[in-house]
Amino acid sequence: HAKSLGRNNYQFYTEKLNQYATRHVQLEAGLKKALQDNEFHLVYQPKFNVETQQIVGLEALLRWESQELGIISPVEFIPLAEETGMINQIGNWAINQACCQLALWHGQGFEHIAVAVNLSARQLKADIISTIEVALAVSGLPAHALELELTESMIMGNPQDSVAVLSQLKALGLTIAIDDFGTGYSSLSYLKRFPIDTLKIDQEFVRDITEDPDDAAITSAIITLAHSLELNVVAEGVETQEQLNFLRDGGCDQVQGFLLSKPLTAINCLALLNQEKNS
């Protein structure tokens, strides 16, 4: 009996492995032609000033709608794009698209809005400086309206190189945010060595802020830390009014999350900006 069970487990395992491998091959083939087939678009998730609840910025998030495979989450395709190196082309597309879209909205009376683009580690190693220079020049977007979101692990992979690249980016006039702050395993010393403007508190801490005293303590500590270092602090994944109240009372600068707005298509985002302006 044990023997047959073992064999079944083995069959189950190889079947899962085959399914996984097939999916991987399909995704990789799909990704290769996704750019030329226009299968990517950006959605924009607003960041709100906690006090005024006005929109101060937008985070551009990549979406892939594959002809063959349907809608695929960035959580699934970004790691694959990173692995294969395709993230450089896809990421460049996202940077250019976000800059052009924002420049358009600046021209429509929303000059106070900034846009943030997420970067992958491989993009830092590629020619990110000239990519950004070209995107700003082509779009006409002022550099101060562009923010880049990087994770701790990305910049700690090669701290020396990162300091150099981030300094060059800062020299262009844009701002740098640390995404998913607190979930890496890095020492805090990089915070004083890198030219950073903003910390984004990971939604992992925000989720249980009102029930778990540990998460509440960590979140409060991050807000205090950010402000002592004269950094802006944003909370991600705010889903309830109770979480928002906690963050407001704790002095958090900005919030982002489903409570105030999900990521929006460009059309819906402009509608929201107009609605806010006219209210």
> Cα–Cα distance between 56 and 63 in angstroms, integer?
22
For ligand C2E, the binding residues in 90-129 under the rule CB under 6 A are 91, 94, 118-120
180 sits near Mg ion (criterion: CB under 5 A): yes
Per-residue DSSP letter, 276: H
179 sits near Mg ion (criterion: CB under 5 A): yes
46 sits near ligand C2E (criterion: CB under 6 A): no
Alpha carbon 88 to its chain's center: 16
* The binder of ligand C2E chosen from 34, 62, 124, 148 (CB under 6 A): 62
> Cα–Cα distance between 200 and 208 in angstroms, integer?
16
* The binder of ligand C2E chosen from 31, 55, 61, 174 (CB under 6 A): 61
263 sits near ligand C2E (criterion: CB under 6 A): yes
57 sits near ligand C2E (criterion: CB under 6 A): no
CB atoms within 10 A of CB 208: 14
198 sits near Mg ion (criterion: CB under 5 A): no
Tokens linked to 104: 């358009």
Cβ within 8 Å of residue 154, ≥6 positions away: 119, 120, 121, 124, 162
Q: Looking at beta carbons only, is 101 or 120 nearer to ligand C2E?
A: 120
CB atoms within 10 A of CB 84: 14
* Residue 120 interacts with which of ligand C2E, Mg ion, none, CB < 5 to 8 Å by class: ligand C2E
* The binder of ligand C2E chosen from 58, 78, 145, 166 (CB under 6 A): 78
In terms of Cα–Cα distance, which of 181, 151, 183 is closest to 166?
A: 151
Convert residues 93-132 into a mask of x (bound to Mg ion by CB under 5 A) and - (unbound): -------------------------x--------------
234: helix, strand or coil: strand
Cβ within 8 Å of residue 90, ≥6 positions away: 31, 34, 35, 40, 62, 81
149 sits near Mg ion (criterion: CB under 5 A): yes
Chain residues binding ligand C2E by CB under 6 A are 45, 61-62, 73-75, 78, 91, 94, 118-120, 149, 179-180, 203, 236-239, 256-258, 263
